Amino acid sequence: IHRTHYARQLGEDLVGKQVRIGGWIEDVRDIGKLAFVTIRDVTGACQAIVTGDNVQAAVQAPRQSAVIIAGTVQKSKAKDFPVEVKVAEFAILTKAVHPLPIDPTGRVESAPDKRLDARALDLRNPKTAAIFHLRSAGLKVVRDTLRGEGFVEVNTPKIIGSASEGGANLFGFDYFKRKAYLAQSPQLYKEQLTLGLDRVFEIGPYFRAENSHTVRHLTEFTSIDVEAAFLDYEDVMDLVEKVVGNVIRDFNENHRVELAAAGVQEIPFGSNKKIDRLTYEQCLDELVKEGEKLSFGDDLSDAALRKLGEMHRGFYFIMDWPLKLKPFYIHEKEGNEKLSKSFDLQHGYLELVSGGRRLHDPERLRSRLVEQGLNPASFSEHLKAFDWGMPPHSGWGLGYDRLMMVLTGSQNVRDVVLYPRDTDRLTP
């Protein structure tokens, strides 16, 4: 079952050499005494020339069956392939059972739901595969960037005993005769951890009982969360810029092939690698001028964000939101307590990141909980850490699925998630 080379490695330097290639059958052209078989593997396609006793096996092999071939590399006359493999051994390892639910070559377009139903097979489509190669590459850049800034990667529980974001949208379930919940974010843990680890980040799945049918909401999504002691909110905005900028640079410089397969030539990211920082009030003014009926304190509706997204193409921050629109843990702005030290990173209408400076004073945190109608007693486990010398801290949560959606030019978050979960979808 072992191979010596991947399809992409076959070049003129190998002419005359013996190779074994493992992959799947994409196409077979039967010309009587011989057959041309296109074999694809994760790196690309190659051509195999099958002769003699192997012709019948090749011609009868169902497309997409797993095969291994062995033979000699020779120059090819085919326009798509500089070299080909003259096959001595042709072994079908597992037959694909037809009809297949989708055509992974992409020649016949399949409905999105059908593709998701057959996701593993869909990954044989180079465009789909490219998206998930990019997704993996991006995570490496994020990890490298954050580690380079002194962040420690942590893993906090996903089964929790009380809400972390205030209570809405929680999935609850029975936990050995007690009530437990799926984590909506690592918010409380990551804040506590700045006490001892100073700078932490976590990449993990979070869960929200979000009853919305949109192209950007899932019930399970991947978040990149950071939290850092002794940094203010503008410092962690710089960090967002660095993380997102590094991912974009890596994709543009090192992953052109995958980007092109996904249908993207180059990801634009401003000339000076800086992202515009608009305040909430600036946005409000711009929107009011455009005829939106909004006044201070109103949240920005989907329609308003779409309008704003047309005025500010690409990435931009909205900062200094009204305090009352933000969760209990967000710090007010000194000198104007109606405002908060908070921000969102937007791409057009789409929110990618939320973050801010947090309250570190336990008394103020307690009174904020009460102001927001929450019971401090339910947060006692969290609050006790604030009595152990909590440093001032700031952080953010970045929806990685949404970032990948933007960077791969996908219109639906489901395109960049292997096995998406939403109100309708629980399988595969």
CA–CA separation, 188 vs 153, rounded Å? 16
- Find where tokens 């929110």 sit: 351
**With contact defined as beta carbons under 8 Å apart, do 346 and 352 qualify?**
yes
Q: How far is the CB of 352 from ligand AMO (least distance, A)?
A: 5
Count residues near ligand AMO (CB under 6 A). Answer: 22
Among residues 23, 104, 126, 399, the one that binds ligand AMO under rule CB under 6 A: 399
Cβ neighbours of residue 195 under 8 Å, at least 6 residues apart?
229, 385, 388, 389, 390, 391
Q: How far is the CB of 30 from ligand AMO (least distance, A)?
A: 48
Considering only residues 262 to 301 of the shown chain, the ones binding ligand AMO according to CB under 6 A are none
**With contact defined as beta carbons under 8 Å apart, do 61 and 36 qualify?**
no
Cβ neighbours of residue 117 under 8 Å, at least 6 residues apart?
101, 427, 428
Q: Where are the beta strands (DSSP E) in 332-408?
A: 332-333, 336-340, 342-347, 350-357, 393-399
Considering only residues 225 to 244 of the shown chain, the ones binding ligand AMO according to CB under 6 A are 225
Cβ neighbours of residue 145 under 8 Å, at least 6 residues apart?
242, 243, 246
Amino acid at 271: S
Distance from the Cα of residue 3 to its chain's centroid: 31
Q: What is the token pair recorded at 194? A: 């700045």
138 scored as a contact of ligand AMO (CB under 6 A): no
Q: What is the token pair recorded at 260? A: 């092109």
Among residues 38, 64, 194, 223, the one that binds ligand AMO under rule CB under 6 A: 223
71 scored as a contact of ligand AMO (CB under 6 A): no
CA–CA separation, 310 vs 296, rounded Å? 21
Distance from the Cα of residue 305 to its chain's centroid: 22
Stretch that binds ligand AMO, among 30-38, 136-144, 353-361, 376-384 (CB under 6 A): 353-361
* Residue number, nearest CB to ligand AMO: 399
Among residues 255, 331, 347, 402, the one that binds ligand AMO under rule CB under 6 A: 402
Give 331's Cβ-side CA count (13 Å radius).
21
C-alpha to C-alpha distances, 317 to 283, 408, 420, nearest whole angstrom: 10, 20, 27
Among residues 41, 84, 401, 415, the one that binds ligand AMO under rule CB under 6 A: 401
181 scored as a contact of ligand AMO (CB under 6 A): no
Q: In this complex, which beta carbon is closest to ligand AMO, that of residue 55 or of residue 359? A: 359
Q: What is the token pair recorded at 210? A: 């979000």
Q: In this complex, which beta carbon is closest to ligand AMO, that of residue 341 or of residue 402? A: 402
Q: In this complex, which beta carbon is closest to ligand AMO, that of residue 128 or of residue 354? A: 354
22 scored as a contact of ligand AMO (CB under 6 A): no
Stretch that binds ligand AMO, among 1-9, 262-270, 373-381, 399-407 (CB under 6 A): 399-407
Q: Apex CA 178: angle with CA 175 and CA 184, to 5°? A: 65
Q: How far is the CB of 397 from ligand AMO (least distance, A)?
A: 3
CA–CA separation, 130 vs 136, rounded Å? 10
Among residues 37, 58, 218, 319, the one that binds ligand AMO under rule CB under 6 A: 218
Q: In this complex, which beta carbon is closest to ligand AMO, that of residue 71 or of residue 355? A: 355
The site string for ligand AMO over 357-396 (x = CB under 6 A, - otherwise) reads --------------------------------------xx
- Find where tokens 């409000």 sit: 284
CA–CA separation, 18 vs 51, rounded Å? 16
353 scored as a contact of ligand AMO (CB under 6 A): yes
Among residues 64, 125, 187, 408, the one that binds ligand AMO under rule CB under 6 A: 187
Q: How far is the CB of 66 from ligand AMO (least distance, A)?
A: 35
Dihedral (Cα; 100, 106, 109, 114), 10-degree rounding = 50
Q: In this complex, which beta carbon is closest to ligand AMO, that of residue 126 or of residue 186? A: 186
217 scored as a contact of ligand AMO (CB under 6 A): yes
**With contact defined as beta carbons under 8 Å apart, do 24 and 126 qualify?**
no
208 scored as a contact of ligand AMO (CB under 6 A): yes
CA–CA separation, 111 vs 42, rounded Å? 23
Q: How far is the CB of 207 from ligand AMO (least distance, A)?
A: 9
Give 279's Cβ-side CA count (13 Å radius).
11
Among residues 47, 185, 346, 410, the one that binds ligand AMO under rule CB under 6 A: 185
Stretch that binds ligand AMO, among 49-57, 252-260, 286-294, 348-356 (CB under 6 A): 348-356
Q: How far is the CB of 40 from ligand AMO (least distance, A)?
A: 32
Among residues 84, 202, 210, 250, the one that binds ligand AMO under rule CB under 6 A: 210
Q: Under the rule (CB under 6 A), what is the footprint of ligand AMO? A: 165, 185, 187, 208, 210, 217-218, 221, 223, 225, 351-356, 395-397, 399, 401-402
